[in-house]
Amino acid sequence: MSCTTRIRELYDSFSETELKIADFILDNRESVLDSSTHELADLTKTSASSWVRFSKKLGYKGFTALKVDLASDTVEKPEENQLMNVFIDAGDSFEVLTKKVQYISMSIMEKTYNLLNIKLMSEAVDAINKSNRIFIIGIGGSAIMCNDLMQKLSRIGRTVFFHDDSHILLAQLANLTPDDIVIAVSYSGKTDVVLYAAEKAKEVGTPVIAITKYDVKTSLSQIADFNLYIPVEETNLRLGTISSRNATFVITDLLYYGVAKDNFDDTLQSLVASRKIIDNLKQ
């Protein structure tokens, strides 16, 4: 997960002091890599402890870990960052509209992969593989991705529960055990039904995987055992819900592929069996 990506994703949540530090890192990468916290505190008129706290807010153990990650960052082209704020305009030709949507779609994919924590993703897949039953929780727009994941996992022989009716969805959780797992999908990290389900899971010791926007302070992030983050959307009227949908599909597809890979022989048998049933129905 890129250091500069983390900063950009959390930028709107920063305090005045944190904004000074964030802007300095984004504009003075080499200086940050070559300086101590005390030197940087003098340059930004902050404090050494503020730099340490900022590092931890980004999810690092300390400032040294931030510097290690920053050193491996690739430098973004300024024009790319500007293009991300392009609105869809009523006067756009369809050709222009197509180019804008293409750029935004490609950008959200790149940002999503930059945010990936491979180690955590692998641990989440391992937790799914060890579970007896999988309960997927999500409503509204998130239900689209939940239903897709439920169908995929069902076809490779996993016992999966999901329903787009919130009352039925919650009723399915009545018999949760520590041997099950809950996958909670909520872009905001604040959806009441999803939070309620995650809290109930934690009460009985059921592991929770959260797919949510990159914000370590949301209620869902605080509850979950595994936080799989997607990029924070722009606040303007652009392609918000489409962006979060595409980003979520990246995460759910990776979970599916990970589960399928780790049970390869069983996966092939299950796919062949499900294909035969569907083919018989078509005849």
| Last-in-domain residue among 71, 99, 131 | 71
What's residue 276's pLDDT? Answer: 64
Residue 249 sits in a domain whose CATH number is 3.40.50.10490
Residues 51 and 148 both lie in one domain: no
pLDDT surpassing 50 at residue 203: yes
Residue 283 buriedness (CB in 10 A; 0-12 / 13-18 / 19+): exposed
What's residue 77's pLDDT? Answer: 45
Instruction: Look at residue 222 and tell me if it is in a domain.
Output: yes
Report for 52-66, 89-103, 193-207: range of highest mean pLDDT: 193-207
3-state secondary structure string, the chain?
A: CCHHHHHHHHHHHCCHHHHHHHHHHHHCHHHHHHCCHHHHHHHHCCCHHHHHHHHHHCCCCCHHHHHHHHHCCCCCCHHHHHHCCCCCCCCCCHHHHHHHHHHHHHHHHHHHHHHCCHHHHHHHHHHHHHCCCEEEECCCCHHHHHHHHHHHHHHCCCCEECCCCHHHHHHCCCCCCCCCEEEEECCCCCCHHHHHHHHHHHHCCCCEEEEEECCCCCHHHHHCCEEEEECCCCCCCCCHHHHHHHHHHHHHHHHHHHHHHHCHHHHHHHHHHHHHHHHHHHC
Place of tokens 């949760």: 176
Residues 49 and 167 both lie in one domain: no
> pLDDT tens across 168-192, in order?
988 989 899 999 999 999 999 999 9
Residues 24 and 135 both lie in one domain: no
CB atoms within 10 A of CB 193: 17
Contact 181, 127 (CB under 8 A): yes
Instruction: Look at residue 213 and tell me if it is in a domain.
Output: yes
Instruction: Look at residue 28 and tell me if it is in a domain.
Output: yes
What average pLDDT does the segment 115-126 reach?
A: 93
Contact 223, 84 (CB under 8 A): no
Residues 136 and 49 both lie in one domain: no
Q: What does the alpha-carbon distance between residue 91 and residue 97 come to, in Å, rounded to a whole number?
A: 10
What's residue 79's pLDDT? Answer: 44
Residues 180 and 270 both lie in one domain: yes
Residues 265 and 175 both lie in one domain: yes
Tokens of 37: 């916290």
Q: What is the mean pLDDT of the chain?
A: 85
> pLDDT tens across 223-279, in order?
999 999 998 865 544 455 778 888 999 999 999 999 988 776 666 666 666 666 666
- Residue (of 212, 267, 255, 253) closest to 122 by Cα position: 255
> Which structural domain, as residue segments, surrounds residue 271?
118-278
- Residue (of 66, 50, 64, 77) closest to 7 by Cα position: 66
What's residue 97's pLDDT? Answer: 77
What average pLDDT does the segment 203-222 reach?
A: 93
Helices 63-71 and 3-10: crossing angle, nearest 10°?
Answer: 110
Residues 160 and 259 both lie in one domain: yes
Residue 46 sits in a domain whose CATH number is 1.10.10.10
Residues 137 and 264 both lie in one domain: yes
The count of domains in the chain is 2
Instruction: Look at residue 155 and tell me if it is in a domain.
Output: yes
Cα 6-12-14 angle, rounded to 5 deg: 80
pLDDT surpassing 70 at residue 282: no
Residues 44 and 129 both lie in one domain: no
Instruction: Look at residue 181 and tell me if it is in a domain.
Output: yes
Instruction: Look at residue 255 and tell me if it is in a domain.
Output: yes
Instruction: Look at residue 87 and tell me if it is in a domain.
Output: no
Tokens of 106: 């490609």
What's residue 84's pLDDT? Answer: 42
Residues 243 and 127 both lie in one domain: yes
Phi and psi, residue 14, nearest 5°? -75, 150
Q: What does the alpha-carbon distance between residue 273 and residue 275 come to, in Å, rounded to a whole number?
A: 5
Residues 131 and 215 both lie in one domain: yes
Instruction: Look at residue 165 and tell me if it is in a domain.
Output: yes
Whole-model pTM: value is 0.70
- pLDDT confidence tier of residue 283, bands split at 50, 70 and 90: low
Tokens of 91: 């006067």
Residues 30 and 141 both lie in one domain: no
